[in-house]
Structure 1
Amino acid sequence: MPLHTSPIDGAPMRTVRRYGIEIDVCPTTGGVWLDRGELEKLIEIIREDAAQEIPSRARLRQDQDEFDDDGPSRRGRMDRKSRLLDLFDF
């Protein structure tokens, strides 16, 4: 059940829903609250992203070994915005 008013300053809360997670946000203080079970969903997103990142890093190291200093950069990895950053981008 989402909060209707902020416990910090009593301002009306805003509910943001991303990746199946409901986040209650205080627009004045920036405080965020998660309902029961939402933290576990957040942790699972972090685990999934980390599992996908490990092979990407191995490929990046392999690509860098094949080229000199002017070779490929880390830009490809940085272009992909993580779901965690996207989740709290409001």
Structure 2
Amino acid sequence: MPLHSSPIDGAPMRTIRRYGIEIDICPTTGGVWLDRGELEKLIEIIREDAAAEIPSRARLRRGDDAFEDDGERRQGRMDRKSRLLDLFDF
């Protein structure tokens, strides 16, 4: 259940929903609160994103020429904002 007022200063909370996670935000202090189970969802997003990056990192360490020649694909990954950063971009 979302908070209606900030426990810090009593200001009305703002609720945003991203990637199935509901985040309560105090607009004056910037405090962030998660409901029960939301932290576990956040951890799962981090795990999924990290698992998706493992093959890319392994190819970079190996010096895979096919990977290095594919500049468009590599640039796409560099431009892509992580879901974690996107989640807290408010």
1:3-82 paired onto structure 2 within 5 Å: 3-62=3-62, 64=63, 66=65, 75-82=75-82
CA–CA distance in structure 2, aligned partners of residues 66 and 43 of structure 1: 33
The superposition leaves residues 10-57 of structure 1 with CA deviations (integer Å, 9 ceiling, x where unpaired) of 100000000000000000111000000000000000000000010111
Give the superposition deviation at 1:80. Answer: 1.2
- Aligned to 2:28, the other structure's residue is in SS state coil
Supply the AA of the counterpart residue of 1:77: R
- TM-score, structure 1 as length reference: 0.83
CA–CA distance in structure 1, aligned partners of residues 79 and 61 of structure 2: 17
Give the superposition deviation at 1:65. Answer: 5.4
Higher deviation after alignment, 49-58 or 34-43:
49-58
- Aligned to 1:16, the other structure's residue is in SS state strand
Supply the AA of the counterpart residue of 1:59: R
Residue 86 of structure 2 corresponds to 86
Q: Provide the aligned length of Structure 1 versus Structure 2.
A: 84
- TM-score, structure 2 as length reference: 0.83
- Which ranges in structure 2 are unaligned for 5 or more consecutive residues? none
Percent identical: 88
Give the superposition deviation at 1:9. Answer: 0.6
Q: Which runs of 4+ in 1 moved over 4 A?
A: none
